[in-house]
């Protein structure tokens, strides 16, 4: 399926869906649809032009290179979707894209309501594409060379309070949901990592869990005593042979979407605002730093390669800042 055909199909779908959801949410839906559509061979009885065929070849070369570099399948799908969408909206072959096309595309997306953080993520994907093509000698120039980053307003993302965590656990109606809450809080794992866990990844004697994180990199995270107890109770109630640690009603492996849905319902009942799985990572990071753990060790637990990523996760309350000031001033 050519880029032009795929773009037109996605535009038609976008027009319908755009009336009902926000721009950021629509982008997530379109990315998922693009992935599904890409799995099917659709004959639209058209012969792609030479420039469109060349664009397709260049894109495939870039994506293959990222796969060889060890990027995750999720990351590659994101590159694929963002690059195809941008090239389709700019309406020119990849080789003819200039910095002016890119700036107009980003300006149009901003006017459409896309957030600055999402927009800068899109810019980074395009910079990666054109930068790689230029470095490999497949393009004579890199149109993103003078494309500056988009300033993103820094928001204070507060962690869960201890009261929030307790209310969430109190309103769990089954041991599985409580085990998920405890595991997220104890390990700071990403939601995809939690859903990908099998039972044999847990070592209750050492209170450790082996996690397969981004880039297929393994790391060890740790369980507190309460989490060990809750997980043991949940697993003792299981009568199936499914290797997955967490399963749904049909004994299929629980998906990230299923966990998010569960957490939203639970938070509504518990009266906890802004509840989402990733917030547990921020909470654990902030708690560990508050208790004196070195930031390098916190980064290792979270699976971060760069310390500046970990720094973004750490929240210091006004009261803690005041205490530190009184201590050292």
Q: Which residues pair with 221 in a beta bridge?
A: 209
| Radius of gyration for the chain, computed over Cα atoms and rounded to the nearest angstrom | 23
Comparing 73-77, 88-92, 150-154, 316-320, the range with the smallest average pLDDT is 316-320
Average pLDDT over every residue of 46-73: 77
Which tokens sit at 268? 């509504």
* CA quadruple 91, 93, 94, 96: dihedral sign: negative
The CB density around residue 77, as the number of other CB atoms within 10 Å, is: 16
Cβ-contact 61, 94 below 8 angstroms? no
Between 234 and 305, whose confidence is greater? 234
CA dihedral 27, 31, 36, 41 (to 10 degrees): 100
Find the mean pLDDT for residues 285-302: 89
Q: For residue 62, what pLDDT is reported? A: 93
Instruction: Kindly indicate the confidence band of residue 289, based on its pLDDT and cuts at 50, 70 and 90.
Output: confident
Does residue 61 carry a pLDDT above 80?
yes
Residue 26's closest CA among 88, 118, 153? Answer: 118
Confidence grade of residue 151 (pLDDT, cut at 50, 70, 90): confident
- Nearest CA to 306 among 319, 295, 294? 295
Q: What is the pLDDT of residue 44?
A: 32
Q: For 87-113, how does the pLDDT look when each residue is reduced to its tens digit (9 = 90+)?
A: 999 989 999 999 999 999 999 999 988
Q: CA–CA distance from 94 to each of 58, 59, 83, 122, 179 (Å)?
A: 8, 9, 10, 16, 49
In angstroms, the CA 101 to CA 86 distance is: 10
| Residues 12-57 pLDDT 10s | 666 656 555 565 666 666 666 665 555 444 333 333 433 578 889 9
pLDDT computed for residue 7 by the predictor:
52
Torsion of CA 266, 268, 273, 276, to 10 degrees: 40
pLDDT of residue 178: 97
* Nearest in space to 188 (alpha carbons), one of 30, 71, 310, 307: 310
- pLDDT tens-place string over residues 267-285: 999 999 999 999 999 999 9
Judged by phi (left if over 0) then psi (alpha if -120 to 50, else beta), residue 71 lies in beta
Helix intervals (H) in the chain: 3-17, 23-37, 50-68, 73-90, 99-111, 116-135, 162-170, 175-187, 191-195, 225-237, 256-270, 278-290, 295-302, 307-311, 318-328
Q: Are 304 and 310 in contact (CB under 8 A)?
A: yes
Please say whether the structural domain 162-279 has been given the CATH code 1.10.443.10.
yes
**Residue 12 pLDDT:** 62
Boundaries of every domain in the chain: 3-135, 162-279
Q: What is the pLDDT, as a whole number, of residue 50?
A: 35
- Asked if 285 and 188 touch (Cβ cutoff 8 Å), the reply is yes
What span, in angstroms and rounded, lies between the C-alpha atoms of 187 and 223?
A: 6
% of residues, the chain, pLDDT over 70 = 81
The side-by-side arrangement of strands in the sheet containing 218-222 is: 202-203, 208-212, 218-222
């Amino acid at each position: 399926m050519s880029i032009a055909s795929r773009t037109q199909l996605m535009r038609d779908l976008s027009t319908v869906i755009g009336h009902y959801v926000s721009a950021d949410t629509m982008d997530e839906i379109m990315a998922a649809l693009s992935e599904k559509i890409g799995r099917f061979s659709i004959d639209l009885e058209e012969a792609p032009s030479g420039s469109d065929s060349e664009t397709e070849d260049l894109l495939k070369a870039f994506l293959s290179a990222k796969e060889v570099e060890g990027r995750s399948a999720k990351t590659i799908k994101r590159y694929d979707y963002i690059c195809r969408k941008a090239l389709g909206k700019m309406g020119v072959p990849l080789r003819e894209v200039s910095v002016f096309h890119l700036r107009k595309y980003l300006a149009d997306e901003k006017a459409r309501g896309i957030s600055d953080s999402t927009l800068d993520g899109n810019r980074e994907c395009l910079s990666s594409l054109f930068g790689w093509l230029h470095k490999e000698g497949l393009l004579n120039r890199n149109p993103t060379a003078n494309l500056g980053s988009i300033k993103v307003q820094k928001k204070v993302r507060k962690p869960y309070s201890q009261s929030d965590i307790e209310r969430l656990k109190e309103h769990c109606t089954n041991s599985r949901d409580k085990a998920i809450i405890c595991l997220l809080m104890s390990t700071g794992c990403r939601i995809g990592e939690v859903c990908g866990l099998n039972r044999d990844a847990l070592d209750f004697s050492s209170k450790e869990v082996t996690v397969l994180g981004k880039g297929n990199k393994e790391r060890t995270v740790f369980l507190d005593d309460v989490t060990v107890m809750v997980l043991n109770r949940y697993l003792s109630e299981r009568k199936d042979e499914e290797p997955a640690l967490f399963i749904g009603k049909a004994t299929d492996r629980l998906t990230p979407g299923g966990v998010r849905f569960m957490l939203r319902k639970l938070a509504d009942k518990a009266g906890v605002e802004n509840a989402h799985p990733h917030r547990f990572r921020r909470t654990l990071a902030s708690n560990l730093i508050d208790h004196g753990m070195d930031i390098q060790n916190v980064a290792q637990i979270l699976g971060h390669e760069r310390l500046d990523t970990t720094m973004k996760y750490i929240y210091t309350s006004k009261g803690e800042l005041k205490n530190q000031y009184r201590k050292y001033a």
